[in-house]
Amino acid sequence: MIKLSIVKSPDREVLGHYETQKINITIGSSCRNDLVISDTEIISSHLRLKLTSQGLLVKNINRVPYFFSNGKKVSGEKLHVKGDSFLLGQTKVEILELSYQKEFDVRAELQQRVGAITKKQPLVANLLQLIRDEILNPRVTSKSVAHGQQQEQEHPKVAPATKQKSKPVMARANEGKTMIARLADIFKDG
């Protein structure tokens, strides 16, 4: 979390506290920025702020113009901590609070949660396998895992005339609907 206080600015509407959960924010006069300030000395995209475990990295988006950090001129980037201030144009910003939480790996978290669910509910594992196979091999061979049985099926478009064709699309759709209904019952009861 980044909590700032705009203590001085020609733009009276921005005076006060600004708080965000975002890790990266931009400041400038354009409405494309997270924090928009109407100050004649601030360009459309002026500064980028990035929250890190060490503090708040304040960086010029363009080499010119510069900004002031704790009273010293900076044309580049500078790391700030709670209590520091920076001045861009005629607008003074103080850093009130910084709370950095390392972003977790969404994919690993999802795999862990899906793994826990599929251990408890084999039907969910079967459905996910069906979906995975259909997505990865839509025109070749997919495996039907309904009711825990794996059978090789070939889609009509690629099956030679001598081989057995797969179930019609409607039959596969009905299997999917049945499986979804079973899942709904499981989650409703559980």
Provide the token pair at 2: 């980044």
Q: Is the same domain home to 67 and 131?
A: no
Residues pairing with 30 in the sheet: none
The upper half-sphere exposure of residue 187, i.e. CA atoms within 13 Å in the direction of its Cβ, equals: 9
SS3 174: helix
- Give the tens place of pLDDT for each residue, 91-102: 999 999 998 876
Q: Is the same domain home to 165 and 182?
A: yes
Q: Is the same domain home to 149 and 78?
A: no
User: Is the pLDDT at 148 greater than 60, yes or no?
Assistant: no
User: Is the pLDDT at 139 greater than 90, yes or no?
Assistant: no
Give me the amino acid identity at 183: L
What is the CATH number for 61?
A: 2.60.200.20
Whole-number Å distance between alpha carbons of 65 and 73: 10
Domain of 178, in residue numbers: 106-189
Q: Is the same domain home to 55 and 93?
A: yes
Q: Is the same domain home to 13 and 69?
A: yes
26 close to 45: Cβ distance less than 8 angstroms: yes
Whole-number Å distance between alpha carbons of 115 and 117: 5
Q: Is the same domain home to 34 and 17?
A: yes
The upper half-sphere exposure of residue 80, i.e. CA atoms within 13 Å in the direction of its Cβ, equals: 31
Q: What pLDDT does residue 87 have?
A: 93
Q: Which one of 74, 98, 122 terminates a domain? A: 98
Q: Chain-wide mean pLDDT for the chain?
A: 76
More confident residue, 170 or 28: 28
Whole-number Å distance between alpha carbons of 79 and 58: 6
Q: Which one of 51, 68, 98 terminates a domain? A: 98
Q: Which one of 65, 98, 131 terminates a domain? A: 98
Band of residue 48 on the pLDDT scale cut at 50, 70, 90: very high
Q: Is the same domain home to 93 and 126?
A: no
Q: How many domains does the chain have?
A: 2
Q: Is the same domain home to 94 and 114?
A: no
Whole-number Å distance between alpha carbons of 118 and 18: 43
Tell me the whole-structure pTM to 2 decimals: 0.53
Pick from 23, 5, 17: which is nearest to 99 by CA?
Answer: 23
